[in-house]
Amino acid sequence: MLFAFLLPIRAQIAANSAANLFLRVRQVSNNTINHYQSYLSSILAWGVEQDFLARHPWPYRKLKVVRPVMRAQFRDLMQVFPELPGWLQWAVKTAFFLALRPGQVELFGLRWDAFDFRRRQVVITQGKSGKPKTVIIRNDSYLREAALRCAYDQRRGIMLVCHYDNGRPVRSYRRAWETACKRAGISMRFYDVRHIAATIMLGEGADLAAVAAQLGHQSVATTGAIYAHVTPTGQAHAAELMPSLGEVIDVSPIKK
């Protein structure tokens, strides 16, 4: 009787461990694992509500999320950039100016029909939420290069924005990226390109809500929590914007 009671619990622990191991092998963060577990738990809860399941079979526990310290800076990126192959240099430019995540959905799944060159903007499907975000482009050199590449790719029947030189989809960038970083003597992730872009925008005085929109964050609080510590001059700049309230008043005792 006791064994029969414990068996489902042991199965739950084994399933949870197997799922976490599978995601860990794919180098997925704890935060992403928590998202996947939450989605699966919601599906199972719906099954209970619809009487497909007698009870919720998977009481998962959230994994601890520790946000990585972002040490990579723009000068580091500029040292890595010349060491990259041409196809990856263009991918880095696109990730930087559009503040994209370097994955198969956002960066390497981006198509030319998402670009509106007249309005100077791009509508992108986000990798985490699947929701669209509109990114505004104001860098003229990137926009000109994008227009030239778009025309050339469309003549060849290529719809992906970022691809190998032969036009095939990018399946993996890790080896090329790591080789370039090793040659440059720099340790940074491709994902840091997005963080560097956000840091520069905030450091130059861009509004937090505007940066959140470029990044595709659903909440301004998310942007503030991630990037507030990398803009140490932001608070001082905010204080400097305060106007004066009249002349200086000397309140020291008047000597007679």
Residue 200's CB is within 10 A of a number of other CB atoms, namely 16
210 within 8 A of 134, measured Cβ to Cβ: no
Q: Could you read off the pLDDT tens digit of each residue along the chain, which spans 256 residues?
A: 333 433 454 455 555 555 555 555 555 667 677 777 777 888 888 888 888 778 887 777 777 766 655 678 899 999 999 999 999 999 999 999 999 989 888 899 999 999 999 999 999 887 667 788 888 998 999 999 999 999 999 999 999 999 999 999 999 999 999 999 999 999 999 999 999 998 888 888 788 888 888 888 877 777 777 776 655 556 566 666 666 666 666 666 655 5
Residue in 72, 65, 31, 29 with CA at minimum distance from that of residue 230: 72
pTM over 0.85: no
Greatest C-alpha distance within the chain: 97
Q: In the beta sheet, which residues pair with residue 124?
A: 133
